Amino acid sequence: MAWLVVSLSLIAIWVASFCKIFFRATSTSSKTLQKKNVMFVIAHPDDESMFFSPTINYLASNACNLHILCFSTGNADGMGSIRKDELHRACAVLKVPLQQLKILDHPNLQDGFGQLWSHDLLTEIIKEEVTNHDIHTIITFDNYGVSGHCNHRDVHRGVLKFLQTNSGRNIKAWELVSLNIFRKYFGPVDIWLSILSAKQHPSKVIIINEQPWKSFKAMAQHLSQWVWFRKLFVSFSSYTYANTLNRINA
């Protein structure tokens, strides 16, 4: 009998969480993100769909001008050209203009664990993109990089160094908060914990994904990566349903 009560309670929480998404979704303090030109700085094709899609969906629905700077083609397994095309298709789903997507294939910025990226080189490229596109806001990984991938962490440090060496530009930057293993796979239920956290830390911004089906569709464009465990990840990952962003203070 006890297991039945627990099971019904979990089902009720999941149903309530989906109701929050579809009928009463609100994003805490998200107006601070609504700047004209916003650039997402990521490491690999599929980062945008697996981790940042709630924020991309929110900003796209509020007529923000979105750019994506992807520092590699994801060529660790020799599928860089395929993954590049997949990112183009995912951006079409997410309503990011293809002319505002830049994917690099620099010899010193190759995908892979143990591939350390030069923070000076990252800073130089970020500066060029910010200047060319009059970027007002940058959104990227935090110091842990969600999964702990070294490329994600280097991207964060590149953005941080850019902010430190270009303080006069008044660029606002936000990092996607890495969650612990329990919250990371709590699915839509983590929305409640994120909202509670935002109330305790008013500087954080919570973006609830009002269109989680679009996140699934975007990730499904990455056919080379759309294997069973990533399907499970997107289904149960808290990052499919909400993003918590924290202001980066250089």
pLDDT in tens, 161-203: 999 998 878 899 999 999 999 999 988 889 888 888 878 888 8
**Cβ atoms of residues 114 and 78 within 8 Å:** no
Is the pLDDT at 49 greater than 70? The verdict is yes
H or E, element range at 57: helix 53-61
* Residue 115 confidence class, pLDDT cut points 50, 70, 90: confident
Mean pLDDT of 220-228: 96
Instruction: Rounding to the nearest 10 degrees, give the CA dihedral for residues 183, 187, 193, 198.
Output: 100
Distance CA 118, CA 203 (A): 30
Mean pLDDT of 58-65: 93
**Cβ atoms of residues 72 and 171 within 8 Å:** no
Sign of the alpha-carbon torsion through 77, 79, 85, 89 = negative
Mean pLDDT of 226-243: 95
Mean pLDDT of 214-225: 97
Is the pLDDT at 14 greater than 50? The verdict is no
pLDDT (0 to 100) of residue 113: 87
